[in-house]
Amino acid sequence: SYKITYFFDAAGCYEVGLDTYFSLETNAIEVLNEIKGMIEKDANFGTPTNTNSLYEWNSKDRLVSIQMDYINQDKGMISLTIFANQ
| Residue 34 φ/ψ, nearest 5 degrees | -65, -50
User: What is the pLDDT of the chain when averaged over all its residues?
Assistant: 94
Q: How many Cα neighbours within 13 Å face the side chain of 18?
A: 11
What does DSSP say about strands 54-58 and 64-69: parallel, antiparallel, or unpaired? antiparallel
pLDDT tens, residue by residue, 4-32: 999 998 888 899 999 999 999 999 999 99
d(CA 33, CA 82): 17
pLDDT tens, residue by residue, 69-82: 999 999 999 999 99
